[in-house]
Every structure is written in structure tokens, then in C-alpha cells.
Amino acid sequence: SQTIHQWPATLVQPVGSPLSLECTVEGTSNPNLYWYRQAAGRGLQLLFYSVGIGQISSEVPQNLSASRPQDRQFILSSKKLLLSDSGFYLCAWNKGKNIQYFGAGTRLSVL
């Protein structure tokens, strides 16, 4: 069966520090991968998606970037975090079906 892993589960970082969040999927190949953010008191916003290795599409301009160095690995990064980057980050995947499967999320606090 397929599983999706995200880490770390929680992260506290100072303003201006770098960020790297990792997501991996097991049990499938060439999935579509997604990064979402859920800011406090707000809904989910799609940040990036990827349909293959090295292929990244950005949905909103921001201080973040994404990369897909391997087929089942999706990384969310920032060179310098802002206070407004705080939130709950969710990775998701799908393949073929019109259903997305989500990881457990990373709660990021930028102080």
C-alpha cells in the first residue's frame, strides 16, 4: 500500500533562518506531488505541485521554493524565513485518481 511521510512534525525557526521540509511517498511511482499551507484561521492554499522529477509549478508568489530531486521526494525550502511563513504545511500525492492523499503535516512557527 502507499504511504506518505512528512518531517519534521513541528519546527520552530527564527526569522531569517533557512527552511527545508521533506516529503516522501512510498508504494507508487511517478505520483503527482503537492505542497499546501494552512495559515492560522485560514483555509488551505496550494503552494506548489509537481508532475515529475524536476518539474515544479508555483501557484502563488512567495518566499518559498520547491524541488523534486527524486521521483517520490518533494522538498519545500526557503533561504530566509519570514514571520508570515508560519503555518501548517501539508504534502499530498495522487496518481490517476481524482483523490489526493495527505501527509500528517509540519507545524512551522517562525519567531
102 close to 7: Cβ distance less than 8 angstroms: no
Part of the chain binding another protein (CB under 8 A), chosen from 12-20, 62-70, 71-79, 89-97: 89-97
Question: Residue from 78, 100, 108, 110 that binds another protein (CB under 8 A)?
Answer: 100
Q: Which of 56, 57, 53, 55 is nearest to 71 (CA)?
A: 53
Q: Which of 62, 81, 109 is nearest to 19 (CA)?
A: 81
3-class DSSP assignment, residue 83: helix
User: Which residues within the stretch 41-70 sit at the binding site for another protein (CB under 8 A)?
Assistant: 42-46, 49, 51, 59
CB of 74 to another protein, least distance (A): 14
Torsion angle, alpha carbons of 8, 6, 50, 53, to 10: 90
Count of chain residues binding another protein (CB under 8 A): 23
Q: Which residues bind another protein (CB under 8 A)?
A: 6, 32, 36, 38, 42-46, 49, 51, 59, 90, 92, 94, 98-105
